[in-house]
Each structure stands twice: as structure tokens, then as C-alpha cells.
Amino acid sequence: MNGLETLVLAATTFVGLHLLMSWAPVRGALAGRLKEGGFLGLYALISLVSFAWMVMAFRNAPAQARLWTVGSALWATASGLTLIAAILLVGSFLGNPALPDPTGRLKAPQATRGAFVITRHPMNFAVALWALGHILVSPTPKGLVLAGALLGLAVVGSAHQDRRKALFKPDVWTDWEARTGFWPFAALLRGRARLSDLGWRIPLAGSALWLAATWAHGGLGAGLWRWI
């Protein structure tokens, strides 16, 4: 098995285990035996181990040529996507009703504020937009496998989360769905949310994170640093 094949296997395992453990019959059986806190701990451990294997397989895969030319337009697009991703990531830790709750309770904010005016899945779409940006500027076979796995899992996982929450607590989740959007900016375009409710702290903190992360790319000249 060569390096790319190992990466494909690792990425498939990472995505497959996530989806398997989120499947209602499996989740219910494990949570029944381990309780909710124990299940979340096991889920986190398996996710960490499978993710680490995928990253190691990516690093060990041989260097490969890009599948298309990457010019300034793609770099600018990727920079914008990763900036939004950084803002969503910061915002995902503030009042997120989708974060795991060891008590099994589902809570939704009374008002749609912060990153949730952009999407009700800010953490997942932070990953998705980060992955999409890297697909644009790092279109090697191994890069597409790694970023594609993260992109696919983020979007599919968000859709699955919506279905599970709707079944678990339909009265709370139906209201939250009506006030938010699945895809980034959908709620704003449909008038369900107001951009002013995003506030200024989350964009400021997200921009600082983005500047630090793109600076850490060093010689690649990512983000704003590419044009400085």
C-alpha cells in the first residue's frame, strides 16, 4: 500500500467512524451502556486517534504536483474563505446550542446573535470553508483527500445533526431552524437574521486568529501576508 492509498484508508476511517458513531442505533446503544458523558468521551477519543492517523498519513504521503494552476484570484478567494472560517470558529464557542451537552439537554438562544446569524453550524462550516480554501490553493491528490474528507464530514455532519436534534427536541429545534440558516449567509439573505447582530468582538477576534494563522504559513505567503 503506497502513501496515498494509506491516506485514503485513514480518511475513510476518520469519516466513517464519525458517521457510524452518530448513527442513532449505534449512538443509542453506546450511550445506554456508557451514559451520555462516557459516550462523548469515547467519541472524542476515537475522533482524535483517527484524525491523528489521517494527519500522519498525509505527512507521510509523497509530494505531488498540483492538478491546476493556482494564481492570485484563487489565493484571494481562499484567503476570504479562511477569514470567514476563522470568524465562525471563534463565534462557535459563544452560545452554541449544537455543542455537546453531557446532560443531554438541548438549549437554543432566545435571540439569533453572533456567528449564528451566518449559520447555525458555525464550527462545522468553519472547517468546511477552511477545507474548501485549501482545496483551491493546494490541489494535490493528497491535499484533496485530506481537505475533501474534512469538507464532506462537516457538511454531512451538520445535516445529520439537524435531523437528530429535530427528532430529539422538535419544539426547540424547529424554532431555532426557522431563525437560522444551514448554509452560510442563507439566513441573512432570507431576512431571518441581521448582520448587525453579529457584533464586533467575534469578527475582530476571528480576524486576529486569521492573521496569526496565515502568518504561521511562513514562506507560503498565505492570506494578507501574500500581498505585503
Distances (CA, A) of 180 to 104, 114, 122, 184, 204: 22, 11, 11, 10, 22
Summary mean pLDDT of the chain: 86
pLDDT at 219 over 60: no
Determine the Cα–Cα distance for residues 118 and 45; give it in Å rounded to an integer. Answer: 30
Determine the Cα–Cα distance for residues 95 and 88; give it in Å rounded to an integer. Answer: 12
Residue 19 confidence (pLDDT): 87
Q: Which residue has the higher pLDDT, 104 or 145?
A: 145
Please give the average per-residue pLDDT across 199-211, as a whole number. Answer: 93
Residue 22 confidence (pLDDT): 80
The model's confidence at residue 34, banded by pLDDT at 50, 70 and 90, is confident
pLDDT at 105 over 70: no
pLDDT at 115 over 70: yes
pLDDT digits (tens, 9 = 90+) for 76-103: 999 999 999 999 999 998 755 555 454 4
Residues 12/148, Cβ–Cβ less than 8 Å? no
Please give the average per-residue pLDDT across 196-200, as a whole number. Answer: 90
Please give the average per-residue pLDDT across 5-17, as a whole number. Answer: 93
pTM, full prediction? 0.87
pLDDT at 106 over 70: no
pLDDT digits (tens, 9 = 90+) for 144-166: 999 999 999 999 999 988 888 88
* DSSP code, position 195: G
